[in-house]
């Protein structure tokens, strides 16, 4: 059984694969102070809920946007799983040429999403990840990683708005009734939900124009379901795009 771990700035999403089937997956908050022992205990407890043991995990791979957590996950695997966990980064085979100025600065999650999107859609293609940031990653018709866009995420933007505006309330991410809000809450909802949808449509249109192709676009990330229904350029949502990309990268390096 393969363990795949996606460590984000806000949440850690991980799952287990048997062959091509994602058997189970979980999310928990990414705590930058977590030790290898704490991660091992959390993993064991969650696996036991599905009658799976640590001994059932024969291989593993991690991608992390939190530098201090990657070595803790690798150490956890060595201590409790009895094998060396692969980590997405320089030296790992990807099967995808990286055509940016400094490939070493490319975020692991962005590369993983690009690999998974290309495997699913072919080239050219675009992945849009709604996480702490909104990441747009672009693959060429030849399957090369070309670069992308990083924009402030939905929750970051909402936090900034309500913390800087003393009279502005925190809201739930519920679709507004109309673009023209009849009250403060509806106005904020319109700005966040419709505003991000308009950003996505505008950015994807610009990327497609630069590519000179109507590249299919796939979305992922915990907040995608709030924004994507109000876009016109996203073709599909895949909640497990990053986990599937990790499985593909493990296969490249097995």
Which neighbouring-strand residues pair with 220? Answer: 129
Is 129 marked active-site? no
**Of 82, 96, 46, which Cα lies nearest the Cα of 249?**
96
Length of the chain in terms of residues written: 254
Q: Which of 6, 109, 144, 238 is catalytic?
A: 109
Closest CA to 219 of 208, 227, 209, 211: 227
Orientation of helix 108-121 relative to helix 241-253, angle to 10°: 90
Contacts of 211 (CB under 8 A, 6+ apart): 124, 138, 140, 141
Show which residues are catalytic: 109
């Amino acid at each position: 059984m393969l363990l795949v771990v996606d460590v984000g700035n806000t949440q850690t999403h991980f799952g287990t694969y048997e062959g091509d089937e994602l058997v189970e997956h979980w999310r928990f908050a990414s705590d930058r102070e977590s030790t290898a022992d704490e991660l091992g205990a959390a993993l064991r407890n969650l696996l036991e809920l599905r009658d799976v043991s640590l001994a059932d995990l024969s291989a593993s791979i991690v991608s992390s946007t939190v530098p201090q957590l990657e070595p803790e996950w690798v150490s956890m695997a060595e201590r409790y799983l009895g094998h060396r966990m692969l980590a997405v980064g320089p030296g790992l085979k990807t099967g995808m040429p990286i055509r940016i100025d400094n490939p070493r600065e490319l975020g692991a999650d962005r590369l993983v999403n690009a690999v998974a999107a290309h495997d699913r859609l072919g080239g050219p293609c675009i992945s849009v990840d709604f996480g702490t940031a909104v990441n747009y990653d672009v693959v060429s018709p030849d399957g090369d990683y070309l670069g992308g866009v990083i924009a402030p995420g939905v929750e970051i933007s909402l936090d900034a708005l309500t913390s800087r505006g003393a009279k502005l309330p925190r809201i739930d991410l519920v679709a507004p009734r109309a673009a023209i809000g009849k009250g403060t809450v509806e106005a904020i909802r319109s700005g966040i939900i419709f505003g991000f949808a308009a950003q996505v449509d505008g950015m994807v249109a610009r990327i497609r124009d630069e590519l000179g192709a109507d590249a299919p676009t796939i979305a992922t990330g915990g907040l995608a379901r709030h924004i994507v229904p109000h876009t016109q350029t996203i073709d599909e949502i895949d909640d497990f795009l990053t986990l599937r990309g990790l499985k593909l990268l493990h296969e490249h390096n097995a």
